Amino acid sequence: MATHLSPCSSSSLKQQETKLLLSSRFIAVPRRCCFSTWVQFQPRIHSRNHFQLKSSNGYPLNAVSLQDGLETSFPFSETENAESTVSITVVGASGDLATKKIFPALFALFYEGFLSEDFIVFGYARSKLTDEELRDMISKTLTCRIDRRENCEDKMDQFLKRCFYHSGQYNSEEHFAELDIKLKEKEAGRKSNRLFYLSIPPNIFVDVVKCASLGASSANGWTRVIVEKPFGRDSESSGELTKSLKQYLKEDQIFRIDHYLGKELVENLSVLRFSNLVFEPLWSRNYIRNVQFIFSEDFGTEGRGGYFDHYGIIRDIMQNHLLQILALFAMETPVSLDAEDIRNEKVKVLRSMKPLLLEDVVVGQYKGHSKGGKSYLAYTDDPTVPKDSLTPTFAAAALFINNARWDGVPFLMKAGKALHTRRAEIRVQFRHVPGNLYKRNFGTDLDKATNELVLRVQPDEAIYLKVNNKVPGLGMRLDRSDLNLLYRSKYPREIPDAYERLLLDAIEGERRLFIRSDELDAAWSLFTPLLKELEEKKIVPELYPYGSRGPVGAHYLAAKYNVRWGDLSGEDS
Ligand SMILES: NC(=O)C1=CN([C@@H]2O[C@H](COP(=O)(O)OP(=O)(O)OC[C@H]3O[C@@H](n4cnc5c(N)ncnc54)[C@H](OP(=O)(O)O)[C@@H]3O)[C@@H](O)[C@H]2O)C=CC1
Ligand SMILES: O=C1O[C@H](COP(=O)(O)O)[C@@H](O)[C@H](O)[C@H]1O
């Protein structure tokens, strides 16, 4: 990774700490440090400068050591940090994602002290709004942490004062040049670091990148662009998108976001695996019988039918969120926690996957249903969805990794809208105990006795391991229990939203949780042939009632590989 680190002895650390107390120019960074787990767990004497920014991998990061996309690089010192500004322009500011997720995440970062004193937020969209109107709109969706409400109103006011709006077309370089003038005014001659968040429909990504990069790039700091999914709809369109983006940006300026990578439990997956001796030795075909990645929502595509019908659940959830988790789950140990080392390992896994066959996939679509006196509309009842749409709102798939570690292990995925519950989890089912002495105590169904590790990503984050134990008392009755790390009991503090982590990482230049273009290519290579076949053969999805557990085809698919879906086992359903 192209970072320039300034080594620092403990005595110079002390000098800098003194400097810190004396000079108000250093305010921004120490506040960040106060909340850093790195500060809590890293030794104080560190070979790197301890005022450097902290990234989500727990290491301090020299965030702007390289002017991303510019030819020259320069070391980033605290002095420069104090004299530089960060602006975040949310393009598509009037939209759903921006108001629901991005502005609230920025506020949370500000509230927690993770944004420097000098940050600026700009909303950009076509809607004609004044600064005040933007503030009014945003203020409705800002929330305070449940457990930390002190000064929240004041903080909101302070945050809103740093938010501005510029109305413009997405394909007008001139309008972005006007934004540039406004940004420069706020930056007041300091070095400017600029982050653009593309919270807009994908058909205008390239227009915006072109106009923003030509009209509003930073002249003296970094310019980065967060791109929301979907990154194309198949290998070809994704390749074209990448090519077009790279006309205006370098790869290191592009931050392709997959917000599932910012979720707490997904972050914890690698920690669990690589920092516990009890798990890593088991992490292979020798002990793991199958792995399941499950996503379900208890609501349909209401309000997003127009978008969804063009993509479907495989592109919306499987090709990105679930596949990214699979790659993290199955990758070999990376050389280090550096972004490139981790992404190299993820790409290797993705490229080792067996082509996905139509016979290993089940698709479904929800139909209308009445329950408890309430009627739920079918997917095709949405006026923005064609009546004869074959777009799947549910899919299940069995995937395989052709490598020594995972040969023959089914990796099952299941994703659906309008199901009976909202849930995202990773389930690892271990093999049966060979020659189990207690076999007869379990009856004929040995599956009931296998260990299962569950990472519940949401809701109610938890990691639990199903183990067998003896029921206390005379005799020998066995039972299954959960060794349960329930986050709300162990860590009563509110868990930050995924967008907070990802925005902070983008600001700090940490790319670990963003998708590199070769990862994206590999992900599309896996799904594109299947998607084409589904569409060319006009495969009719199996209908399932709104609010049900999905099509029965998913059970047959699992059964084909001797698997039972863990979420429907009765214990956890
Ligand atoms: N909403 C969500 O929960 C999620 C969204 N995403 C992705 O994030 C991005 C933004 O999503 P979302 O906020 O829901 O999108 P919206 O449909 O709300 O669009 C965002 C803004 O873009 C402008 N816009 C909308 N349609 C068009 C159009 N056809 N041409 C030009 N401008 C248009 C509008 O602003 P104005 O008219 O003022 O210019 C709108 O406020 C998308 O790429 C989406 O796939 C990803 C994950 C979840
Ligand atoms: O990317 C998407 O994710 C959301 C689900 O996100 P979550 O964080 O609320 O679980 C999904 O509803 C949407 O269809 C999809 O585009």
Looking up residue 156, the CATH number of its domain turns out to be 3.40.50.720
Q: Is residue 573 part of a domain?
A: no
By alpha-carbon position, which residue is closest to atom 7 of ligand 2? 260
DSSP state of 259: G
**Which residue has tokens 């053969």?**
537
Q: Read off the pLDDT of residues 104-145 as tens digits, 9 standing for 90 and up.
A: 999 999 998 899 878 999 999 999 999 999 999 999 998 876
pLDDT value at position 386? 96
ipTM: 0.98
User: Which residue owns the Cα nearest ligand 1 atom 26?
Assistant: 201
Q: E strand or H helix at 247, and its extent?
A: helix 235-248
Question: Is residue 301 domain-resident?
Answer: yes
Q: For residue 39, what is the enclosing H or E element?
A: helix 37-41
Domain end point (choices 11, 45, 64): 64
Q: Are residues 114 and 241 in the same domain?
A: yes
Residues 22 and 158 in one domain: no
pLDDT band of 14, cuts 50, 70, 90:
very low
Residue 226 near residue 195 (C-beta atoms within 8 A)? yes
Same domain, 302 and 351: yes
- Say yes or no: 176 and 211 in one domain: yes
Alpha-carbon gap, residue 17 to 44, rounded angstroms: 12
Residue nearest to ligand 2 atom 14, measured at CA: 316
Residue 21 clears pLDDT 50, i.e. is over it:
no
**Top-confidence residue, 316 or 152:** 316
pTM listed for this prediction: 0.87
Tell me if 182 is assigned to some domain.
Answer: yes
Contact 463, 278 (CB under 8 A): no
Q: Looking at 42, 64, 86, which one is the last position of a domain? A: 64
Report which DSSP code applies to 113: T
Whether residue 282 lies inside any domain: the answer is yes
Q: Give domain status of residue 539, yes or no.
A: yes
CA-wise closest residue to 262 among 83, 458, 29: 458
Instruction: Name the least confident of 151-160, 167-176, 183-192, 293-302.
Output: 151-160
- Ligand 1 centre and the CA of 95: distance in Å? 5
- Work out the average pLDDT over 181-202: 95
* Residue 234 covered by a domain: yes
The full 3-state SS of 383-421, as one line of letters, equals CCCCCCCCCCCEEEEEECECCCCCCCCCEEEEEECCECC
For residue 286, being part of any structural domain is answered with: yes
Domain boundary among 259, 282, 317: 259
Please tell me the predicted confidence (pLDDT) of residue 224.
98
Number of C-alpha atoms within 13 angstroms, CB side, residue 417? 25
How far the first Cα of the chain sits from its last, in Å, is 44
* SS3 at position 369: strand
Q: Which atom of ligand 2 is nearest to the CA of 458?
A: 10
Structural domain including 129 reads: 65-259
- Verify that 133 and 13 share a domain, yes or no: no
DSSP E strand boundaries for 84-154? 84-91, 120-125
What is the residue with the minimal CA distance to atom 5 of ligand 1? 97
Model confidence band, residue 277 (pLDDT cutoffs 50, 70, 90): very high
| Residues 349, 353, 355: CA angle, nearest 5 degrees | 160
User: What is the 439 CA–ligand 2 centroid distance (Å)?
Assistant: 42
Q: Whose atoms come closest to the Cα of 317: which ligand?
A: 2
- Beta bridge mates, 453: 428, 465
Scanning the structure block, which residue is given the tokens 């077309």?
169
Q: Hey, what's the torsion of the CAs at 239, 327, 459, 514, to 10 degrees?
A: -50
pLDDT tens, 419-469? 999 999 999 999 999 888 888 887 777 777 899 999 999 999 999 999 999
Other CB atoms within 10 A of residue 347 CB: 19
Closest-CA residue to 423 (of 331, 299, 286, 513): 299
| Closest C-alpha among 281, 399, 292 to residue 333 | 281
pLDDT exceeds 90 at position 527: yes
pLDDT at 175: 98
Residues 212 and 268 in one domain: no
Residue 197 near residue 42 (C-beta atoms within 8 A)? no
Cβ(216)–Cβ(249) below 8 Å = no
Ligand 1, residue 94: give the atom nearest the CA. Answer: 41
HSE-CB at 30 with a 13 A cutoff on CA atoms is 13
Q: Model confidence over 356-367: pLDDT tens digits? A: 999 999 999 999
Examine residue 43 and state whether it is found in any structural domain, yes or no: yes
CB-defined site of ligand 1, < 6 Å: 92, 94-98, 125-127, 170, 199-202, 204, 228-230
Same-domain status, 72 and 55:
no
- Which residues belong to the active site? 321
Residue from 101, 200, 208, 260 to probe ligand 1 pocket by mutation (most atoms less than 8 Å from CB)? 200
The reported pLDDT for the residue numbered 117 is 78
Number of domains in the chain: 3
- Quote the ligand 2 centre to 438 CA distance (angstroms): 43
433: closest CA among 479, 483, 467? 467
Identify the DSSP state of 356: P
> Are residues 118 and 44 located together in one domain of the fold?
no
Cβ neighbours of residue 306 closer than 8 Å, sequence gap 6 or more: 384, 385
Q: Is the pLDDT of residue 302 over 80?
A: yes
Amino acid letter, residue 62: N
Residue type, 423: R
Considering the domain architecture, whether residues 59 and 199 belong to the same structural domain is answered as no
Both structure tokens of 56: 């989500």
Q: How far is the CA of 31 from the centre of ligand 2 (A)?
A: 32
198 CA from centroid of ligand 1 (Å): 9
Summarised one tens digit per residue, pLDDT across range 471-507 is: 999 998 899 999 999 999 999 888 999 999 999 999 9
Residues with C-beta less than 6 Å from any ligand 2 atom: 259, 297, 316, 424
For residue 32, the model assigns a pLDDT of 32
The sign one gets for the Cα dihedral 468, 288, 314, 99 is positive
Q: Are residues 333 and 460 in the same domain?
A: yes
For all residues of the chain together, what is the average pLDDT?
86
The span from the CA of 549 to the CA of 545, in Å, is 8
Q: Are residues 403 and 459 in the same domain?
A: yes
Instruction: Return the SS3 of 303.
Output: coil
Q: Where are the beta strands (DSSP E) in 228-385?
A: 254-257, 288-296, 361-367, 369-371, 374-376
pLDDT for residue 152 = 84
Highest mean pLDDT among 107-116, 188-197, 562-571: 188-197
Atom of ligand 1 nearest to the CA of 95: 41
Report CA 548 to chain centroid distance, whole Å. 27
**What CATH number has the domain bearing residue 413?**
3.30.360.10
Kindly state whether residues 40 and 1 are assigned to the same domain: yes
**Is 162 strand, coil or helix?**
coil
